[in-house]
């Protein structure tokens, strides 16, 4: 039986409307949470973006959704978002053996040592940008996005002098910014993505032919040498998509840096600890990842039958794991809506922390970039909390709308850099 079961056999409640796509677009991050509490359930059925979808939250939901080889990603994501965030042939579109084989490459080049190298580059590029723009008032999110583009390019092994950093930053940022939109803004960003893909394919080819001298342990070299599960070298287009799968999300860390600065402004009592204590920086970064809105959820299509909370999923059925609602689940997190880095003290988070996906990173689709993300965030926190402060925050509206996906502080958080 498919997900169109008769109501009396169906243990999961229905959200009660014929189609919730508009409600989802209107309510943003709060969409799932509101219904979970109204229906007093951790899962409900609805119609979203043209398809029947079970929306789920919580620890058990995260485990069920993320069990190996259970949910594919490719066909679950609307094409408009897929083409901006991932694309055909990318690790996220793969399943089974092919996925595991490709995922190993990401785990290799995002291990602790590579993450630390990225954080080191970020710190150097940040210092340079802050002194180049001294005295100016800028959007912190934009500044960090440019800085991270430069760091990501160099970290990958591409000489920065060959790249127009500001233009690339703008294009990589647009891929995340417009993934949730439909219509002209999304089309424009997709057209521009094609241009960036061509550029990335040229970098792969130049690395393969030796036209570009890239150290053999640099991520670009590793991606360029990567084979499929069949042993054949990836075509340049697919390798380019994976190169962008490194560059784009590294630049997206700028959103977490703007959120970190926002949290630091709101909870300035942490400044002293952040200056001197690596554990405090880690706890603070984890709480930023838990509390602030990034991706509302991940969509998956069942590839095998399974049951969750009495609901039977058949192959082809779609589900959305609500990441934001899971990170704010009142059944799991004490004072879930309070920003409290202390909850991570001693390494026990007290709830399922899933802003970058759930489950096993090697066999599932969980983000391989969590270590790199946290490494850059903790480095930023040390720099932002330093004395003298590298910037001040002028009076401004610090409210973050949960209806706007992806979220950011208004204006990306305006800061005045030290003169």
Residues that bind ligand HEM (CB under 6 A): 73, 91-92, 103, 106, 110, 245-246, 249-250, 252-253, 256, 294-295, 298, 355-357, 365-369, 372-373
Output the residue with the shortest Cβ distance to ligand HEM. Answer: 369
* Separation CA 73–CA 242 (nearest Å): 16
DSSP state letters, 286-340: HHHHHHS-S--EEEEEESS-EEETTEEE-TT-EEEEEHHHHHT-TTTSTTTTS--
CA geometry: angle 20, 23, 29, nearest 5 deg = 115
State the nearest-atom distance from the C-beta of 297 to ligand HEM, in Å. Answer: 8
* Separation CA 348–CA 407 (nearest Å): 27
Q: Which is nearer to ligand HEM, 110 or 214 (CB)?
A: 110
Q: Which is nearer to ligand HEM, 107 or 134 (CB)?
A: 107
State the nearest-atom distance from the C-beta of 81 to ligand HEM, in Å. Answer: 12
Q: Which is nearer to ligand HEM, 90 or 417 (CB)?
A: 90
Q: Which is nearer to ligand HEM, 111 or 279 (CB)?
A: 111
The answer to whether 12 touches 41, Cβ cutoff 8 Å, is yes
State the nearest-atom distance from the C-beta of 184 to ligand HEM, in Å. Answer: 26
The answer to whether 236 touches 201, Cβ cutoff 8 Å, is yes
* Separation CA 64–CA 56 (nearest Å): 10
State the nearest-atom distance from the C-beta of 334 to ligand HEM, in Å. Answer: 23
* Separation CA 117–CA 274 (nearest Å): 21
The answer to whether 43 touches 309, Cβ cutoff 8 Å, is yes
The answer to whether 250 touches 153, Cβ cutoff 8 Å, is no
State the nearest-atom distance from the C-beta of 276 to ligand HEM, in Å. Answer: 26
Q: Which is nearer to ligand HEM, 51 or 366 (CB)?
A: 366
State the nearest-atom distance from the C-beta of 221 to ligand HEM, in Å. Answer: 16
Strands 414-417 and 137-139: antiparallel
State the nearest-atom distance from the C-beta of 75 to ligand HEM, in Å. Answer: 13
Tokens in use for 407?
């979220």
Tokens in use for 225?
């040498």
Q: Which is nearer to ligand HEM, 341 or 369 (CB)?
A: 369
Q: Which is nearer to ligand HEM, 174 or 417 (CB)?
A: 174
């Amino acid at each position: 039986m498919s997900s169109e079961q008769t109501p009396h056999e169906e243990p999961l409640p229905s959200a009660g409307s014929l189609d919730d796509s508009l409600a989802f677009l209107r309510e943003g991050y709060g969409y799932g949470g509101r219904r979970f509490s109204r229906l007093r359930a951790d899962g409900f059925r609805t119609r979203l973006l043209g398809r029947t979808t079970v929306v789920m939250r919580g620890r058990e939901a995260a485990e069920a959704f993320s069990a190996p080889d259970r949910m594919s990603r490719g066909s679950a994501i609307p094409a408009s978002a897929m083409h901006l965030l991932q694309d055909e042939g990318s690790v996220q579109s793969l399943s089974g053996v092919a996925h595991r084989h490709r995922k190993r490459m990401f785990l290799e080049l995002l291990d602790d040592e590579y993450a630390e190298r990225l954080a080191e580059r970020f710190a150097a590029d940040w210092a340079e940008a802050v002194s180049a723009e001294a005295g100016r008032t800028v959007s912190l999110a934009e500044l960090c996005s440019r800085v991270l583009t430069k760091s990501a390019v160099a970290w990958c092994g591409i000489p920065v002098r060959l790249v127009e950093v500001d233009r690339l930053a703008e294009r990589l940022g647009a891929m995340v910014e417009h993934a949730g939109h439909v219509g002209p803004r999304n089309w424009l960003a997709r057209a521009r993505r094609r241009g960036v893909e061509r550029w990335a394919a040229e970098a792969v080819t130049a690395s393969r032919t030796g036209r570009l001298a890239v150290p053999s342990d640099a991520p670009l070299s590793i991606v360029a040498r990567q084979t499929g599960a069949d042993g054949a070298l990836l075509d340049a287009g697919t390798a380019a998509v994976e190169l962008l799968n490194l560059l784009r999300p590294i630049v997206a860390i700028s959103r977490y840096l703007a959120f970190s600065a926002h949290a630091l402004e709101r909870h300035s009592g942490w400044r002293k600890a952040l200056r001197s204590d690596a554990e405090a920086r880690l706890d603070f970064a984890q709480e930023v990842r838990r509390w602030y809105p990034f991706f509302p959820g991940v969509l998956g299509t069942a590839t095998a039958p399974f049951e969750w909370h009495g609901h039977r999923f058949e192959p082809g059925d779609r589900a959305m794991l609500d990441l934001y609602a899971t990170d704010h689940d009142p059944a799991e997190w004490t004072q879930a809506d309070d920003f409290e880095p202390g909850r991570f003290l001693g390494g026990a988070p007290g709830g399922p922390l899933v802003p970058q996906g759930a489950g096993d990173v090697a066999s599932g689709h969980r983000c391989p970039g969590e270590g790199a993300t946290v490494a850059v965030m903790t480095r930023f926190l040390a720099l932002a909390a330093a004395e003298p402060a590298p910037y001040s925050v002028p009076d401004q509206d610090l409210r973050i709308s949960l209806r706007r996906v992806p979220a950011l502080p208004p204006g990306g958080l305006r800061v005045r850099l030290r003169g």
